[in-house]
Amino acid sequence: MPHIVFNKAPLVNTPSKKDGVDFKFIAKSYNFTQHERNTEYKIAVENENKEFLLTLKNKDDDQMIKIDKVTRIAPITLVKDALNVYTNSIEAKVVFSNTNTINQKAEPNKEYLKDINYFVDEFQTDKEIQIEVGFGSGRHLLHQAKKNPNVQFIGLEIHTPSIEQALKQMKLQDITNVLIVNYDARLFMEFIDSNKVGKIFVHFPVPWDKKPHRRIYSNEFINEALRVLKVEGTLELRTDSRKYFDYCTELLTNLPTGKITIDINKDLEITSKYEDRWRKQGKNIYDVVLLSHSIDKPLEIQKDFSFDFEINYEEKIKNIPTKSIVEKDFFVHIEDLFTILNEENSGLIQLTMGNFDRPVSKYLIIKNGKVSYYQGTPIPTSSNIKAHNKLKEILN
């Protein structure tokens, strides 16, 4: 984690600019607890058109300035530059620094690796879509992609080495009809249009026997799968876990629509690393395929994250709830509060919100009573929208 420790020194003046880095404002921690707390500052910076915060606090007899984890940006060199420019501009006596920006690794080619925002704002295709959930080594995904050049594949995975391996293989094998997303498959489908997907493969998902709430399959997941599947589209589970098979079969047989087919030890054209291992151990492999019959309503993504009112921040923070507010499918937790120095009715609210499985950390910035999200709005998942509406209630 890049940081610099230096002898105590006065804060930089804001607004000011040095060596291309803008220091826009400084916010000071607000003590909403009954106890003493160490003062912490958030320094708002802009470098190469990217805005982010730096954290400044005392460290023993010195001070330390470092990256703010919530607003961290890529490439990290922008943050390291800002840290170096900060200490230079106040002529600090540096005690320790790990912000040398020489020898940065070049970013690998990530043309086919897409951010979730791409699917929110840009993704469009006339081709049939097929999705693989948790593609692991990517053997099955890439095999299908080569065999079906007219299909647009989307591979979902949360394990970075698997993603890098798949991207490498795609380049070596010249595969161009796969988009890879590092995102939780349980939440991804929310951004895909209805009736567009031919197949969803879920091969050997982690069975999570002790933590069933982490399983890919749930009523919500199946309903979203049915919405995105076109008529005759399929949701295909392949698993070696008898418990997972029973659990999914029960969910699927309670649906009001669809048709399911069950197979044991069916041969596929391609086997994965996991399948090879289970077969060698003589385990049964179960397939449960759900066939969709329904045409669903088009997708409407709610994207309104505005605050259509002004607040009296100084009054509001005196009794703002700082305990987690947990509701059925979302939560809001106000984690910390800051007031901006030398500016009236202005501050930062640090919070975590949204879905329990994929919480987002954000800051709200209040300038002259006007509230907005710092560094842009959250991804418009249904949980984030609900959490936003709760925040409006809290702040209004």
Ligand X SMILES: C[S@@+](CC[C@H](N)C(=O)[O-])C[C@H]1O[C@@H](n2cnc3c(N)ncnc32)[C@H](O)[C@@H]1O
Of 86, 112, 134, 391, the residue at the interface with ligand X (CB under 6 A) is: 134
Shortest reach from residue 68's CB to ligand X, in Å: 27
390 assigned binding-site residue = no
Distances (CA, A) of 41 to 15, 24, 25, 338: 15, 13, 10, 8
**Taking the CB of residue 111, how many other CB atoms lie within 10 A of it?**
10
Complex with ligand X: residue 120 or 325, whichever CB lies closer: 120
Complex with ligand X: residue 9 or 158, whichever CB lies closer: 158
- Our finding on whether 274 is near ligand X (CB under 6 A) is yes
- Our finding on whether 133 is near ligand X (CB under 6 A) is yes
- Our finding on whether 158 is near ligand X (CB under 6 A) is yes
By DSSP bridging, strand 62-67 and strand 94-97 are unpaired
Distances (CA, A) of 103 to 21, 47, 85, 100: 22, 20, 19, 9
**Taking the CB of residue 100, how many other CB atoms lie within 10 A of it?**
10
Shortest reach from residue 32's CB to ligand X, in Å: 35
Shortest reach from residue 188's CB to ligand X, in Å: 8
296 assigned binding-site residue = no
Stretch in the footprint of ligand X (CB under 6 A) among 109-117, 198-206, 304-312, 370-378: 198-206
- Our finding on whether 190 is near ligand X (CB under 6 A) is no
Q: How far apart are CA 110 and CA 40, in angstroms?
A: 37
Q: Where are the alpha helices (DSSP H) in 34-190?
A: 76-89, 116-121, 139-147, 160-172, 185-188
- Using CB under 6 A as the binding rule, the residues of this chain from 20 to 59 that contact ligand X are none
Stretch in the footprint of ligand X (CB under 6 A) among 14-22, 61-69, 257-265, 271-279: 271-279
Shortest reach from residue 132's CB to ligand X, in Å: 7
Q: How far apart are CA 34 and CA 335, in angstroms?
A: 15
240 assigned binding-site residue = yes
Complex with ligand X: residue 87 or 162, whichever CB lies closer: 162
117-123 own/partner pairs: CB under 8 Å, 24+ apart:
117/379, 119/181, 119/188, 119/191, 119/192, 120/191, 120/301, 120/303, 120/379, 120/380, 123/179, 123/191
Complex with ligand X: residue 51 or 184, whichever CB lies closer: 184
Complex with ligand X: residue 12 or 163, whichever CB lies closer: 163
- Our finding on whether 157 is near ligand X (CB under 6 A) is yes
- Using CB under 6 A as the binding rule, the residues of this chain from 349 to 388 that contact ligand X are none
Q: How far apart are CA 396 and CA 391, in angstroms?
A: 8
- Our finding on whether 185 is near ligand X (CB under 6 A) is yes
| H helix or E strand, kind and range, residue 245 | helix 242-253
DSSP reduced 3-state for 269: coil
Complex with ligand X: residue 47 or 162, whichever CB lies closer: 162
Shortest reach from residue 344's CB to ligand X, in Å: 45
Shortest reach from residue 264's CB to ligand X, in Å: 17
Q: How far apart are CA 298 and CA 353, in angstroms?
A: 27
- Our finding on whether 184 is near ligand X (CB under 6 A) is yes
Question: Which tokens sit at 362?
Answer: 């954000």
Q: Which residues are annotated as a binding site for S-adenosyl-L-methionine?
A: 132, 157, 184
Question: Would you tell me which residues interact with ligand X (CB under 6 A)?
Answer: 133-137, 156-159, 162, 184-186, 203-206, 216, 272-274
